[in-house]
Amino acid sequence: MRGAAFLLVALVVGCGPRAEDPKARKMVAEAMAREETVRGAEAAIRSQYAKGRKAVLADKFDDFKAILDSVARNDGAKCGLSWAGIRILVGVGGLKEEDFRIDAFTFNDPVTMAMVTTSHREKGEWKKDTRPQVWTLEDGQWRWML
């Protein structure tokens, strides 16, 4: 998706309407603004993901809860079950910080929600996690929706 905005810009500038065309300028500006927003969102989610990973590895439940959206934080059972499942995966697999990664991001159009594809290392091989994580922008912070 990252290259798509630049491809759009190249097509508009190189093959599209003249640069003086207000619609063309607006399209270019919007594509560039979205690309910047997406880059910022990816960085913020990576940071939150790292905080969550460190919390799990250090067995710090409150730090883990801090990256969750308000609905998940307030649902004690769901939050606790997710925590337990992740802690079991880490314990059984002997996973370390370098055994988790983000593979890809897909954002909705206003860049307020993201599907994040992740993997973890299992017996030396990377294994895609069973379902993508859903992240939402809540009160200016990216939060993981369980």
* Tens digits of pLDDT across the chain (146 residues): 555 555 445 555 555 555 578 888 899 999 999 999 999 999 999 999 999 999 999 999 999 999 999 999 999 999 999 999 999 989 998 999 999 999 999 999 999 999 999 999 998 999 999 999 999 999 999 999 99
pLDDT at 24: 87
pLDDT at 94: 93
Q: Using an 8 Å Cβ cutoff, are 36 and 50 in contact?
A: no
Which residues touch 90 (CB under 8 Å, ≥6 apart)? Answer: 56, 57
pTM score, whole prediction: 0.83
> Which residues pair with residue 125 across a beta bridge?
122
Domain ranges of the chain: 2-145
pLDDT at 3: 57
CA 3 from chain centre, in angstroms, equals 17
CATH tag, 2-145: 3.10.450.50
pLDDT at 19: 58
Q: For 129, how many CA atoms within 13 A lie in the half-sphere containing its CB?
A: 19
State in Å, rounded, how far the first CA of the chain is from the last one. Answer: 25
